[in-house]
């Protein structure tokens, strides 16, 4: 990939609009090219500045209920004014779609950052800092390198073998990353402290990867992989129980 080609793709890449193959190829080019790497960081800085400084509209909690009520009312039979009913229905449905897009936006952005970190570790060959299937080796390795205790468990008996861990950085935050293997697939589990309430697992898709997120025991977890959803849910349940 040339710099001219990369320049046209960096924006769509940061917006999660590239296919997996193109994203991996571009990730490798940006990692090697100082100029393209600088352009990526400038676009990221611009996006962060926009998020911090541009005003955002927080819809009232009752908005979704009112929109759905409007949809039901618009769908009620009105033979003589059918075109008005259809117009109202389309308008209300569009409003619901906008609201859903607004609500999902931050989650999709976070998922994109996690997928970036996952791809970066694979592309750069920096998947593991400490290579071991022994949780009693991996857990102490993090001590003194990160300011929280990292819960480490091996689930080889269930088909998810611990292969090691590393330190990583996602959106400027230091995180611990545990790496598991499922057949030929590598699974990254990113962990960092959180001050928020405990949340049940939630999943979104980004560039062909499934990103599952939850908080537990004062820690937030972000799991990213391309294994089937049922297997992801199995590992999430094991991590939450462990």
CB of 25 closer than 8 Å to CB of 5 = no
Dihedral sign for Cα 115, 119, 124, 129, please.
Answer: positive
Residue 205, H or E segment: strand 202-206
Strands lying side by side in the sheet with 209-216: 130-131, 161-170, 173-182, 185-193, 219-225, 209-216, 202-206
Higher model confidence: residue 159 or residue 205?
159
Check whether residue 49 and residue 69 sit in a common domain.
no
Check whether residue 130 and residue 233 sit in a common domain.
yes
Mean pLDDT value of segment 179-206: 87
Q: Is 204 contained in some domain?
A: yes
Helix (H, G, I), strand (E, B) or coil at 73: helix
Dihedral sign for Cα 131, 136, 138, 142, please.
Answer: negative
Q: Is 111 contained in some domain?
A: no
Q: Which of 55, 77, 94 is the last residue of a domain?
A: 55
Check whether residue 135 and residue 212 sit in a common domain.
yes
Within 10 angstroms of residue 114's Cβ, the number of other Cβ atoms is 24
Domain range for 36 is 3-55
For residue 77, the model assigns a pLDDT of 64
The DSSP result for 6-30, as a single string, is HHHHHHHHHTT-S-HHHHHHHHHHH
Q: Which of 55, 71, 86 is the last residue of a domain?
A: 55
Q: How many domains does the chain have?
A: 3
Mean pLDDT value of segment 93-105: 45
Check whether residue 127 and residue 225 sit in a common domain.
yes
Chain centroid to CA 88:
35
pTM of the model: 0.56
Question: Does 91 have pLDDT greater than 70?
Answer: no
Residues with Cβ < 8 Å from 203, sequence gap 6 or more? Answer: 210, 211, 212, 213, 229, 232
Question: Does 121 have pLDDT greater than 90?
Answer: no
Check whether residue 46 and residue 129 sit in a common domain.
no
Check whether residue 142 and residue 236 sit in a common domain.
yes
Residues with Cβ < 8 Å from 55, sequence gap 6 or more? Answer: none
Q: Is 68 contained in some domain?
A: yes
Instruction: Give the Cα separation of 222 and 212 in Å (integer).
Output: 6
Question: Which pLDDT band holds residue 103 (cuts at 50, 70, 90)?
Answer: very low
Higher model confidence: residue 65 or residue 228?
228
Instruction: Give the Cα separation of 134 and 178 in Å (integer).
Output: 12
Check whether residue 125 and residue 228 sit in a common domain.
yes
Q: Is 110 contained in some domain?
A: no
Residue 62, H or E segment: none
Q: Is 113 contained in some domain?
A: no
Q: Is 160 contained in some domain?
A: yes
For residue 102, the model assigns a pLDDT of 38
Q: Is 16 contained in some domain?
A: yes
Check whether residue 217 and residue 185 sit in a common domain.
yes
Check whether residue 236 and residue 126 sit in a common domain.
yes
């Amino acid at each position: 990939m040339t710099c001219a080609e990369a320049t046209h793709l960096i924006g769509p890449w940061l917006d999660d609009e590239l296919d997996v193959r193109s994203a991996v190829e571009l990730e490798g080019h940006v990692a090697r090219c100082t100029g393209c790497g600088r352009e990526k960081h400038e676009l990221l800085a611009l996006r962060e500045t926009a998020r911090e400084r541009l005003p955002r509209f927080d819809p009232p909690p009752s908005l979704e209920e009112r929109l759905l009520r409007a949809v039901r009312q618009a769908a009620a039979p009105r033979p003589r004014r059918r075109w008005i009913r259809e117009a109202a229905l389309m308008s209300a449905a569009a409003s619901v779609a906008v609201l859903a897009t607004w609500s999902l936006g931050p989650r999709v952005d976070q998922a994109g950052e996690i997928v970036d970190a996952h791809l970066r570790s694979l592309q750069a060959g920096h998947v593991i800092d400490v290579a071991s299937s022994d949780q009693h080796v991996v857990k102490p390795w993090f001590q003194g390198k990160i300011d929280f205790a990292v819960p480490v468990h091996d689930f080889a008996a269930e088909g998810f073998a611990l292969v090691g861990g590393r330190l990583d950085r996602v959106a400027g935050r230091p995180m611990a990353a545990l790496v598991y293997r499922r057949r030929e697939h590598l699974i990254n589990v990113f962990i960092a402290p959180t001050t928020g309430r405990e949340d049940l697992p939630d999943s979104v898709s980004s560039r062909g990867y499934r990103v599952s997120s939850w908080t537990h025991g004062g820690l937030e977890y972000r799991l990213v992989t391309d294994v089937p959803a049922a297997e992801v849910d199995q590992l999430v349940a094991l991590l939450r129980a462990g």
